[in-house]
Amino acid sequence: MSSALRVHLVSSLTALQALEPEWRTLEAHAVIGEWFAGPDYVLPLLKTYFDSGRLEVYCVYDGNELIGVLPLVHQTGADVAGCRPTIGFPMHAHVRRIGLIASQRPMEVMMAIFRVIQGARHSCVALQQVESSGEFDTLVMQAATAAGLRWFDVAQSSSAIATWSSGWEDYLRTRDGKLLRNLRSRRRKLDEASFTVQVVRTPEEFADAWPTVLDIETRCWKHMQRSSMANEAGTATFYEEAGQRLARSGSLRLYLLRQEETAVAHAFGSVQNRAFFLLKNSYDKAFKSWSPGVSLVWQSMQDAAEEGCTIYDFLGDASDWKRDFCTAEPKYLTRRLFAPFTLRCQLCRLREEALKPFARRSGLKRLLQRAEAIRG
């Protein structure tokens, strides 16, 4: 018979950092969850973007053993159309997903967390950027049903992944021939023009390379929009600490493309459990005609396959250039969980599940947008 689980709520960064060794052991034996719910990603994220007082991290113990972590934070203000979730994932513009990480009994872990959430009378829990019908999504629905919770979904954009579980050569046969010829041609031209690629893996190499990454970011198209790593508040700090941690664990794969002394492009990635995650990539807009960003990503994909990876996760949205390479576009959603008697959440559910679909079908949404544009 399974022993009863104990849920410990951590609300300060200092207390959470003290749990890092246990958390790391849990991650090493996880049966559900990814690196995104582990300490090397979550701790830099919380440290950079979230005040310690907002933390509500659920740590689940079997006896004295930490077997589950669900990182949540208190939400501030309304997000969409007046909906006011009480707690949710610590999301940021650069974060695709977080989720639960558990080393055993994930259903019991999730149910234990829901019981504590219900006891605290949180009106609404927002689980943002959950892969629709994925392992975590299925677990949440089953545990929520058992706990008597209700929910509604808000659709998010799709992501892009490439898989080659049957082998790299089989994957290549699924790609457009013109695309592959173009990639080979671009590589030859880069070689002929003295472009070189460096792959950064160690902490010492990362410390030397990081200023170069930020320099590339100041010359990319995103910099003018104030959304590059170099000028978006906190972003460089977050990725620098995440990169240092990745380098120490041996998981860092940072690609730098140079033409002689000029750094042209970077692809910042992480290898975890035979999967390559493309965290960030960019290029100097002055070299756009060389397609340096795509060429560098393609090399990282080839290297990942040689290294034994079978999944390449582009993260972010499924933009057009990623679709040339991806084999699937997982759908994402935000799942909002609430107690049946919460009137505000029932109204939000009505809006999402009935009023919005009706407005789309009837064309009312377009008419309202047009009227708003004329009035503005």
Q: Residue 120: what pLDDT? A: 82
| Domain contains 256 | yes
| Domain contains 216 | yes
CB–CB of 26/103 below 8 Å? yes
What residues make up the domain containing 368?
6-158+331-375
| Domain boundary pick from 323, 344, 360 | 323
Q: Residue 375: what pLDDT? A: 46
**Residues 302 and 338 both lie in one domain:** no
| Domain boundary pick from 303, 323, 343 | 323
**Residues 86 and 152 both lie in one domain:** yes
**Residues 229 and 344 both lie in one domain:** no
**Residues 265 and 197 both lie in one domain:** yes
**Strand ranges, E, within the chain:** 6-10, 55-62, 65-74, 87-88, 101-102, 125-131, 150-155, 161-163, 195-200, 252-259, 262-272, 275-283, 311-313, 332-338
Q: Which CATH number is 314's domain given?
A: 3.40.630.30
Q: Residue 376: what pLDDT? A: 47
Instruction: State phi, psi for 247 to the nearest 5 degrees.
Output: -65, -40
For residue 197, the one-letter residue type is: V
| Domain boundary pick from 323, 341, 364 | 323
**CA gap 179, 185 in Å, rounded:** 10
| Domain contains 1 | no
CB-based contacts of 33: which residues, under 8 Å, 6+ apart? 27, 99, 100, 101, 102, 136
| Domain contains 251 | yes
| Domain contains 47 | yes
DSSP 220-267: SHHHHTT-STTTSTTHHHHHHHHHHHHHHHT-EEEEEEEETTEEEEEE
| Domain contains 39 | yes
Torsion over CA: 185, 187, 189, 191 (sign): negative
**Residues 118 and 196 both lie in one domain:** no
**Residues 84 and 210 both lie in one domain:** no
Angle between helices 39-49 and 20-28 (to 10 degrees): 140
- Helix, coil or strand: residue 208: helix
**Residues 196 and 297 both lie in one domain:** yes
Q: Residue 361: what pLDDT? A: 73
**CA gap 130, 96 in Å, rounded:** 9
Domain count within the chain: 2
Record the pTM.
Answer: 0.89
**Residues 111 and 233 both lie in one domain:** no
**Residues 24 and 96 both lie in one domain:** yes
| Domain contains 274 | yes
Q: Residue 207: what pLDDT? A: 97
Angle between helices 177-192 and 292-306 (to 10 degrees): 100
Mean pLDDT by 10 residues, the chain (376 residues): 86 96 96 94 94 91 97 75 76 84 97 92 87 95 94 91 97 96 96 96 97 92 68 88 96 96 95 95 93 96 98 94 96 91 74 70 63 51
**CA gap 197, 1 in Å, rounded:** 56
Q: Which two tokens stand for residue 49?
A: 């973007």
**Residues 152 and 212 both lie in one domain:** no
**Residues 55 and 190 both lie in one domain:** no
**Residues 210 and 312 both lie in one domain:** yes
| Domain contains 126 | yes
